[in-house]
Amino acid sequence: MMVVFLGPPGAGKGTQAARLAAKYGLPQISTGDMLREAVGAGTELGGRVKAIMASGDLVSDEVMLELVEDRLAKPDCSGGAILDGYPRTRGQAATLDPLTERLGLGEVKLVLSLDVPEEEVVNRISGRRQESAAMGERDDDKQEVVVERMRVYRELTEPLVDYYRDRSVLRQVDGVGTIDEVFGRLDEAMREAVQQ
């Protein structure tokens, strides 16, 4: 089963996607983690995206499609995957189902949209930034980058809520509460999708 996570930066997509992936035996594919690993490893791709990520902009649809296709073609994705951080634009969404169909994974069956108010998101990222200061701040958690990431999210990614609602695969989930409370809501949506 192909599942997509949507939500603003700092909404908790990575934490919750990892928990759902473990429970349902699906690989979690975090494009943000993959890009950060490429940058850290000094790969050719990492070199291409380092400056883009540091500014808060999105990596091009073509590069992201290449990255996602390579990952979804691996054997552990044969039963589907949970995509965390992809798609982020209408262009990426439009190419996702043809890609997953070509790879024999079927269409996206469920899109989970974590609804978190912007003020809460900024507070969460500020807290994450303070916690990680001693270990070395993520470039994409710097205050000016957070503001840009939120602008880019509202402009390019938020419209995917309507895109997937129109396709009848969207489940909007309240992303405010404890990690366990939010997980309970997401788990209920997953169970319903699996039973359909």
Question: Which residues are the active-site residues?
Answer: 13, 88, 128, 138, 149
Show Cβ contacts of residue 46 under 8 Å, excluding neighbours closer than 6 positions: 35, 37, 38, 39, 40
Are residues 104 and 74 in contact, defined by beta-carbon separation less than 8 angstroms? no
* Euclidean distance between CA atoms 191 and 101, whole angstroms: 23
SS3 category, 6: strand
* Euclidean distance between CA atoms 181 and 183, whole angstroms: 5
Show Cβ contacts of residue 12 under 8 Å, excluding neighbours closer than 6 positions: 114, 116, 124, 175, 179, 182
For 37, list phi and psi in degrees, rounded to 5.
-65, -40
First-to-last alpha carbon distance for the chain, in angstroms, is 11
